[in-house]
A = this chain, B = another copy of it.
């Protein structure tokens, strides 16, 4: 039972309302009331928060993460993809343990919470460690164990593990579990088919890297006579909820297939730039009716887990590459980064209105950039920073507030990470 007073609410509703001098009442993990102060019902709050004119809005949904990679932030940059992977990232990942993966995930939970993220869609290994960190944090997490087929039997073992993880965690607290073929170029066709069947059987979704680089896309066409998305369709992956990360290099037909089958694109604009993959044609995808959402990718290829930046980059890049400044306006970018992800994942979040999950963040507006206040949505998207986030609430629980986490001692997390990093420095 929390009441937030004196807020400026960005509701994210279809009418795009901004409500000033507003009140939000939270009970049982849901929003009980959100609207003008004068219409707020009586409410017995255990805690009243005076927002002092701060912005209250839906929290961000980060649609593509590899949270243990927080241990590898700025560990290796400005390298060719293959050099980066083979000489830096793979050897570093080889040294990960359940314990270091847990602490690295905790560092990521802190970064996500402090930058206003309420839910994330994860693909990696060490899922037990990630699940533990996610459960402790209170964030909503969609976990998937990446399956690869480098040698006979390996993929099968990983798929079995994925199913075990599904039964262990799916629906537990705020966790859900997806299946995950890592990518077309790392997974054999027969395994893609098995994963599609498994997801169908379990009634869950599939999270996969798709057409991130030109090379990957073109090799698939050359070797298989189909694009990665066409191949996914042929093995049944588009018949389950399909979460396609990147999609930088997609054909017209790929986009039509995604639209037709209701697949979700998880675009990671910053990572795609930094790794020199390119710029995804998001405007075109949206014209075709595809659900486009944003993710950060891992901290070693971004190097932040900041959804605020992701939505701004996305909007700017679409304007700058289509030569149309009206494309992906602030209000749309904000919705994609919050409500868009929530809807794609089936969460009752992303809108500030009665009955929705209380997945809410607050942004300080006392910085010089929030005056004048002609347009709060434009301020958040074009002038805001994730450093403005002063409160993150998930399901009615405040997990971050003014530098303090409900679930972690930040100094302990940093000390642990620094310790594991010493080991990485020896590679």
Contact = CB atoms under 8 A, between A and B. Distances in A.
Interface stretch (A10-18, A227-235, A284-292, A416-424): A416-424
Interface stretch (A42-50, A146-154, A375-383): A375-383
Interface in A397-427: 410, 413-414, 417-418, 420-421, 424-425
A417 B98 CA distance: 53
A304 interface: yes
Contact of A325 (B114, B275, B299): B275
A326 interface: yes
Interface string A328-342: 011000000000000
A279 interface: yes
A157 to B, nearest CB: 31
Interface residues on A, range: 35 or more
B369 A322 contact: no
Interface in A275-306: 275-279, 299, 302-304
- How many of these chains are in the complex? 2
Question: DSSP majority for the A interface?
Answer: helix
A111 interface: yes
Interface stretch (A33-41, A73-81, A135-143, A346-354): A73-81
Contact of A382 (B114, B302, B324): B302
Nearest to A385: B387
A418 B383 CA distance: 16
Interface of A: 71, 73-75, 77-81, 84, 107, 110-111, 114, 214, 270, 272-279, 299, 302-304, 313, 316-317, 319-327, 329-330, 368-369, 371-375, 378-379, 382-383, 385-387, 410, 413-414, 417-418, 420-421, 424-425
20 contacts: A73-B374, A74-B375, A77-B378, A78-B329, A78-B330, A78-B378, A79-B325, A84-B325, A111-B369, A272-B320, A273-B317, A275-B319, A276-B324, A277-B323, A278-B320, A278-B323, A303-B379, A371-B417, A371-B418, A374-B425
9 nearest interchain CB pairs? A372-B421, A273-B320, A387-B387, A78-B329, A273-B316, A74-B378, A303-B382, A276-B325, A371-B414
